[in-house]
């Protein structure tokens, strides 16, 4: 059983264009690494948008079939609040976006599941979260603090209390992030404060904190309620597969396999590496480098851990 525990759907107006352009700039620079100036990011974006567009989750399920993925956990992003309040963009209906995610999960029962995503600074975020879990069967909460709030800001705490009450996990982005979002708000040490204040709340540190992975593992070694997903490591894997294997080995050695979750961070990351290739890379991780993994460990990190944690 393979579970992708970190995936985002995109469609027209699902996310601010500035964010997508930021991602396109990263891709453009990567695809033209060896030239003095990057390829045209705008062109790359316009080429990719129709390929990525998938409001229903139908394309994703087809891709899961091609990749051998049984279940995917969807994470709605709310970058909009920051754009609305600081960049004068039109107010965005974040509940509508979450409902689209919930509908995709409902229409693909047993294949797609979704967390609820909201900026904690929005009014009524707590009651909205409660509705999402009780009425839409959403499996927990996703926060993306790179829209300039810290995860240990008191404004977030009512959501954590509600997650505890509803007995669902939360997942917080941690690590690098394209412009116009700064990464610093998502440093693992701010998530550690949450884990300290809510020792019974299960908290996934997304991406193992990317380059902060040592900090994440060190902090999580003292906070048994901290989990990690290793989505978004495809680019690093392409550069140095053995290094990724050694990071994964450290994660399992430090936390045990049940707190380490496979993920892709698609659909955007599929542009860097096709999803079937990422799944195969992890399935065959024993073929690169010196780090070795038992079949049992691979079965747990590739699926069983996410099924257990999120009750899929």
**What's the min distance (Å) between Cβ of 233 and Zn ion?**
12
Residue 127 to residue 130: CA distance in whole angstroms: 5
- Segment 219-248, which members bind Zn ion (CB under 5 A)? none
Q: Answer yes or no whether residue 119 interacts with Zn ion by CB under 5 A.
A: no
By CB under 5 A, which span of 21-29, 94-102, 113-121, 262-270 interacts with Zn ion? 262-270
Nearest to 297 by CA among 257, 255, 262, 247: 257
Of 78 and 265, CB closest to Zn ion:
265
Of 192 and 265, CB closest to Zn ion:
265
- Segment 120-179, which members bind Zn ion (CB under 5 A)? none
Of 49 and 164, CB closest to Zn ion:
49
Q: Which SS3 state, helix, strand or coil, does residue 216 take?
A: helix
Residue 203 to residue 178: CA distance in whole angstroms: 23
Q: Answer yes or no whether residue 4 interacts with Zn ion by CB under 5 A.
A: no
By CB under 5 A, which span of 61-69, 108-116, 261-269, 286-294 interacts with Zn ion? 261-269
Handedness of CA 195, 200, 201, 204 (dihedral sign): positive
| Token representation of residue 120 | 């904690």
**What's the min distance (Å) between Cβ of 13 and Zn ion?**
19
Residue 183 to residue 189: CA distance in whole angstroms: 13
Q: Answer yes or no whether residue 265 interacts with Zn ion by CB under 5 A.
A: yes
Question: What's the Cα-to-Cα distance from 208 to each of 57, 129, 232, rounded to whole Å?
Answer: 26, 25, 9
Binding residues (CB under 5 A) for Zn ion: these are: 265
């Amino acid at each position: 059983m393979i579970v992708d525990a970190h995936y985002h759907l995109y469609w027209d107006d699902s996310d601010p264009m500035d964010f997508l352009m930021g991602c396109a700039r990263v891709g453009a620079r990567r695809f033209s690494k060896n030239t003095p100036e990057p390829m045209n990011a705008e062109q790359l974006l316009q080429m990719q948008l129709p390929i990525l567009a998938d409001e229903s989750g139908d394309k994703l399920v087809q891709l899961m079939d091609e990749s051998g993925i049984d279940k995917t956990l969807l994470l709605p992003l709310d970058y909009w609040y920051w754009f609305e309040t600081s960049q004068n963009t039109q107010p965005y209906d974040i509940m509508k976006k979450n409902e689209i995610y919930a509908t995709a999960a409902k229409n693909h029962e047993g294949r797609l599941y979704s967390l609820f995503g909201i900026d904690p600074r929005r009014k009524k975020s707590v009651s909205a979260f409660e509705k999402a879990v009780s009425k839409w069967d959403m499996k927990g909460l996703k926060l993306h603090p790179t829209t300039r709030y810290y995860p240990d800001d008191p404004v977030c705490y009512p959501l954590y209390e509600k997650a505890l009450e509803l007995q669902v996990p939360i997942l917080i982005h941690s690590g690098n992030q394209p412009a116009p979002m700064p990464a610093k708000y998502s440093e693992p040490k701010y998530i550690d404060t949450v884990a300290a204040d809510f020792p019974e709340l299960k908290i996934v540190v997304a991406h193992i904190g990317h380059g902060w992975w040592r900090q994440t593992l060190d902090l999580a070694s003292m906070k048994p309620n901290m989990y990690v997903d290793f989505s978004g490591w495809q680019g690093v894997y392409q550069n140095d597969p053995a290094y990724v294997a050694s990071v994964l080995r450290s994660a399992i050695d430090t936390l045990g396999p049940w707190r380490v979750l496979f993920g892709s961070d698609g659909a955007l990351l599929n542009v860097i590496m096709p999803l079937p290739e990422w799944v195969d890379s992890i399935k065959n991780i024993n073929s690169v480098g010196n780090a070795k993994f038992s079949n049992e460990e691979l079965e747990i990190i590739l699926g069983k851990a996410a099924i257990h944690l999120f009750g899929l």
